[in-house]
Amino acid sequence: MNKNSIVDLVKAIKNFDIENLYLFLDDSKPYQDVSKSLFLKTLNKKFKSAKSDGCHSFDDIFFGICENCNKGCEGMTFFSESGHYLDLFIESKDGETVDDLYVCNQLTNFIGLEKKFDLGFSFCTDEEVAFIPTKEYLTLQQEYYKLRMDLDAMNKAKKLDDFVKWLDQYYLIRDFLSSLDFQELFNSKLYSEVGSVYASLSSIKRIQIKADEAASALISFYNAKSERDKIIWLFENENDRYCSSAFDIPEKWKENSCVTYDFNTIKIEIDLTGYEYVMDYFKILDNYYDAVLEKYKPLPVHFENSENGEVRVSLEDYLRLHNMYIDVVEKYSKSN
């Protein structure tokens, strides 16, 4: 095997041969602006994903023209009959050895291919070997480190009000995240991770924020006399669906008012003393919503009559299928 040979590279990728790619590529060079190890680690995850679908190699290679990163230049598609594919651009000064290698995200092939499962990938700016953190980046990193340390130290149930006071101390994280636009948030591995964690913690705080609305909503639900009234109630409170989904709620949780928030990398116990009714509201909303969806679920004829054989799962769509409470649906329709 020749170091950085395009021929060897293409053969190894075609065969999902990650071991030879490690031997073949130059340790000192970045690929797609990141280290060789990170590039190949990410590529290997894609290979493993394809293998889990029954695809263990690419069947052929097809060429095309890049429409974005190297507009007008020739790229290649590694293609499997299963529909798995990987579009790549290889930079080479001599046409024989690899100078750089990266995923092409807009490749137009010379022939039509039935591309179904994209094995491409991208990296964040703070994963690049040339990344230089700003002062703001380092400040956020430090604040996030402190937050994670605090979370790890929470080894007993924390009262909701105390939890909210603790979270509010991290206003630097809150304010920084609010200053970012969508693209900035997801272009940085740190920003996206902090954003995800802070959003999760804020969903716990939502229990306190929703206290007054929850009390009013519960009264409205129990005063509703008909299914029509309760379905109106569902539409009016639909934005609070799934607020309890990340909580592990024991059957007899009200004996100590403790529930566990368990989502992604966060697992903490929260004492909801004084806020039990808010969790009751969330649970009633979810349970009744599911019950109505089950009652008005699509029949075989509905799937047969749809254009693509599918029906969107939503209260609005299910009620329309059965021609039920159409005036209510029209009033609260999200498609209006």
Query: Mean pLDDT in each 10-residue stretch from start to end of the chain (336 residues)?
Result: 82 95 90 96 97 95 85 88 94 89 89 93 96 96 96 93 97 95 92 96 96 97 96 96 94 93 93 97 96 95 86 93 95 76
pLDDT of res. 1:
54
Residue with tokens 């609305």: 213
CA separation (Å) from 321 to 19, 56, 305, 329?
Answer: 54, 43, 10, 11
286 class by beta-carbon count within 10 Å (0-12 exposed, 13-18 middle, 19+ buried): middle
Q: What is the tens place of the pLDDT at every residue in 40-81?
A: 999 999 999 999 999 999 999 999 998 877 777 888 999 999
What's the whole-model pTM score? 0.82
Residue 7 CA to residue 200 CA, distance in Å, equals 47
* Interior angle at CA 59, CA 56 and CA 60, nearest 5: 140
